[in-house]
């Protein structure tokens, strides 16, 4: 629980976005994603698309954020 409060110190953000997905999804995101913007993007996409935890893990490991968001803005990750 302390990792959760360290990861999401903004209470308003937690109630609005993080509460939209199951607890297991939040654990995956805290363990796998360090960038707060990327984590928020995955939270929103997971809620919008109804991803299971396995689908969320697959999307993270396949680099969906890098392919969709960073490519859209022309940002290189190399």
Query: What global pTM score does this model have?
Result: 0.72
Compute the residue count for the chain.
78
16-64 pLDDT, tens per residue? 666 789 989 999 999 999 998 999 899 999 999 999 999 999 999 999 9
**63 token code pair:** 């680099």
In the prediction, which pLDDT does 7 show?
64
The 10 Å CB-count burial string (b at 16+, else e) for 29-59 is bbeebeeeebbbbbbebbbeeebeeeebbeb
Confidence class for position 71, pLDDT limits 50, 70, 90: confident
pLDDT recorded at residue 1: 47
């Amino acid at each position: 629980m302390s990792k959760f409060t360290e990861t999401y110190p903004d209470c308003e953000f937690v109630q609005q976005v993080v509460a939209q997905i199951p607890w297991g999804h939040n654990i995956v995101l805290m363990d796998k994603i360090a960038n707060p913007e990327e984590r928020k993007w995955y939270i929103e996409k997971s809620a919008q698309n109804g991803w299971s935890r396995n689908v969320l893990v697959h999307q993270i490991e396949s680099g969906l954020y890098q392919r969709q968001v960073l490519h859209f803005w022309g940002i290189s990750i190399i």
